[in-house]
Structure 1
């Protein structure tokens, strides 16, 4: 793969599928190359590093949505040479990140210095092995004061056995997006429970056909609906235990709720990022449970729903009647630094900038930054813009603290399993509740392939 410096242009590599080799631990490779800069406690980084080359460029992998982060960094730090490659970011559990790193491990060379992944569960594999890809970040490499600046809990998905291996880009809690102007026009009340949500969906289908209250057309649908419903179908115990209980009453109840709304037509099976979704549902999205980053990716995006100012609100997560509200998390993304990097100082400077600097996280980022001070300013900007209806800042902040902790981060993608096992069967007309046993089997098989003991 040829590389060019950031000033000379970009390179792209295509989407790569999952392969069976993903389950095989990385080969034991020397991290030192021709002589390391110290191991463990002797290293200023907390791990055995390559011989450092202070002027060497860093290679950074990002998805297309994070290209503005690289642009902002190179503008702020023109003295740091960056080779940038765009890839799919592991979207929908494609496994491209892990596939490429596995190949580089086998070859003994080729690793990038920095990688952005949309999948928070990548830390589970990138942090393991005799020579893991991901560098530990809290063993002397980054200042603890900087790490403490992240919103409490933001780094939990990237913490393995008490060590931080990645920095979160943004918080992706699920909120209840709704169009206030349509609720006013139709005379509806915004639901606060899943039961009210189902009732409203049926009413909308009858009284205003063509308008929708949700979508299950993307691979992250389980993280929106089943995680928010507190369904115990993605449970990780310790480092090697996994369970998925599709017979749990909560799991079944959510599946039946979605079946009912899919049948009515008010929950659709289109991906929110398909041109067809935009064509059919612009101006007709009454409600859409989804992550905070829908704010910039969908509603304020001129190429997507492009909702008029003052119409869209981010409501609080829904709850089962009589229970406390909980919510799921859809990505948010993680930045990793490679233990193989020969310019760890430049990689550190890059990560500090893209996760916390106002130039990117406050001024350009489409979602709520994971870094607390940037998050406060980002919310302030949204409030000042007057774009969103309702109390956007308060509701988003509340939702960020309601992510249910019963959903784990295994070494495989829940999204990929759902997309392969459930999505095509739903499209063929099968009921979600009838697909639960097959879904459970697929998850358990994937867990076993990845070295988990299924409980």
Structure 2
């Protein structure tokens, strides 16, 4: 899938070598998961512009790095494929050894940021201090780099976005005479019609952990608010309780299923009866096309839903990042690689998923291979959603509500409980997790 397993984006660049040898002051601000022990200055390792750089990637990103090597035959790069879930463990071992660190690392977990920017010698280099091109940093999608920013300093760059849109089967909607909803209230009203007129068809699922990000993040529910190391979660807020009641109503009438989209039985049970799904931009190809086997020309995307009278917002499910190591002795070559991977049309136009770098996203959308499957042009809803990811939900929080949605809320729903009556326990679980990872919980 892609919740955190998706994509690669890229472009080539140089940086001033003078900046590599100077002390680089880090800015101080708030809004992400950075510990108080983040160093105020960065001293690069002694630089060797001719040294080979080591790149850790997963199997999905490896072809992109190989393409870079082919396009840049003089580049000296050693590629190592690894399980991205072992990132922290592997680096910890190298920290103990005092050597052997990779120069560039791809990570699927946005929650790695707090760890990567903490400790006596944080792994991540500060990219906005002369390491990554400043003009390109400004051209990433709005909020795309929030999961890479700690204390006002940029420590990684986003590989791809996983902005949520409203996916729908245009063929079935036209056949049934239904209109695409634009508000959450319209969405619920459609669910009530579907339950009465076409029982067995569904317009959503809450059975995967993703549902927290799809529905509650999109509803602007303040379940996951992180400022520095201060954390809060308020599931009594109207945006949370309204969404819980909305979903409870639709679960009760059968228009929203408790079956997980990524469960083994979903394709057989709902494959040809899925009218809609709220989900990330990669759902089109990886759920409808690959998993549900929906024929080409049926699936379309609409912009994120909004509460009646309010501006639309949306959540995100996935999107990997690239780190450059603070230990690297060839920051220039490392930056050139990461730049090409994240911003180059040569790479991004044919990447598996929607690029975080806005100019490259246009090239991606212009590539028929990425869009021919769909019934309508997805460019506008994708671009709209990319600019509407709500910044009130922390994508890097280690108290991620989606984890406890999967471990606590889904079993509760399976046992017959409602989301509304499960909200207090869900909030307690989120806050307990926040405390356990060292956040200061604010009531």
Are the aligned partners of 1:383 and 1:392 in contact in 2 as well (CA < 8 Å)? no
Aligned to 2:385, which of 390, 399, 422?
399
**2:131–2:332 Cα contact (<8 Å) kept:** no
1:85 aligns with 2:81: yes
Give the 3-state SS of the residue equivalent to 2:267 in structure 1.
Answer: helix
Find the aligned partners of 2:212 and 2:371 in 1 and give their Cα distance: 32
Q: Tell me if structure 1 keeps the 8 A contact 2:110–2:396.
A: no
- Map of 1:297 onto structure 2: 286
Deviates more, 1:421-430 or 1:384-393: 384-393
Partner deviation per Cα, 1:170-210 (whole Å, 9 max, x = no partner): 12221101011000111112111112212222332333233
Matches of 2:159 and 2:238 in 1, distance apart? Answer: 34
Q: How has the CA–CA distance of structure 1 residues 267 and 60 changed in structure 2, closer, same or farther, with 3 Å as cutoff?
A: farther
Deviation, structure 1 residue 41: 4.1
2:392 alignment partner, SS class: coil
Tell me how far 1:107 sits from its aligned partner: 4.5
Counterpart in the other structure of 2:31 = none
Deviation at 1:385, TM superposition (A): 5.1
Change in Cα spacing, 1:115 to 1:281, as seen in structure 2 (3 Å) is: farther
Could you tell me how far apart the structure 2 residues matched to 1:99 and 1:416 are? 20
SS in 2 for 1:369: coil
Distance in 2 separating the partners of 1:266 and 1:68: 41
Quote the Cα distance in structure 1 between the aligned partners of 2:378 and 2:389. Answer: 18
Q: Unmatched 5+ residue regions in structure 1?
A: 1-36, 91-95
Segment of structure 1 superposing worse, 188-197 or 383-392 = 383-392
1:40 corresponds to: 23
For 2:346, the equivalent position in structure 1 comes to 359
> Map of 1:254-293 to 2, 5 A cutoff?
254-293=243-282
CA distance in 2, matches of 1:436, 1:83: 45
List aligned pairs for 1:397-436, cutoff 5 A: 397-414=383-400, 415-436=402-423
1:334 aligns with 2:321: yes
Equivalent residue in structure 2 for 1:61, among 40, 50, 56: 56
> Is the Cα–Cα contact under 8 Å of residues 284 and 299 in structure 2 kept in the other structure?
no
2:44 paired residue among 18, 34, 49 = 49
Match of 1:166? 156
1:241 aligns with 2:194: no
- Paired position in structure 1 for 2:431: 444
2:68 aligns to what SS in structure 1? helix
Q: Find the counterpart in structure 2 of residue 142 from structure 1.
A: 132
1:53 deviation in Å? 5.2
Cα deviation for residue 83 of structure 1 reads: 2.4
Quick one: distance in 1 between partners of 2:60 and 2:395?
23
Pairs within 5 Å for 1:2-13:
none
1:182 aligns with 2:172: yes
Q: Secondary structure at the match of 1:140?
A: coil
Partner of 2:11: none
Q: Distance in 1 between matches of 2:359 and 2:438?
A: 39
The TM-score with structure 2 as length reference comes to: 0.83
Write the distance in 1 (CA, Å) between the matches of 2:368 and 2:416. Answer: 41
Question: Which deviations, in whole Å up to 9, do the C-alpha atoms of 1:36-83 show, x marking residues without a partner?
Answer: x856249xxx83233445555444333444344234334333543322
Q: Is the 8 A contact 2:313 2:390 kept in 1?
A: yes
Question: Residue 446 of structure 1 aligns to a residue in which SS?
Answer: helix
Of residues 177-186 and 144-153 in structure 1, the stretch that sits farther from structure 2 once superposed is 144-153
Q: What does 1:340-351 align with in structure 2 at a 5 Å threshold?
A: 340-351=327-338
Matching residue of 2:33: none
Question: Does the aligned pair in 2 maintain the 1:224–1:328 contact within 8 Å?
Answer: yes
TM-score (norm 1): 0.81
Q: Does 1:211 align with 2:201?
A: yes
Deviations 1:191-243 (A, max 9, x none): 11112212222332333233221122322221110011011111123x12111
Question: Match for residue 9 of structure 2?
Answer: none
108, 116, 121: which one pairs with 1:126? 116
1:152 is displaced (CA, Å) by: 3.9
CA contact (8 A) 1:60 1:84 kept: yes
Say if 1:362 and 1:377, in contact at 8 Å, map to a contact too: yes
Q: What is aligned with 2:441?
A: 454
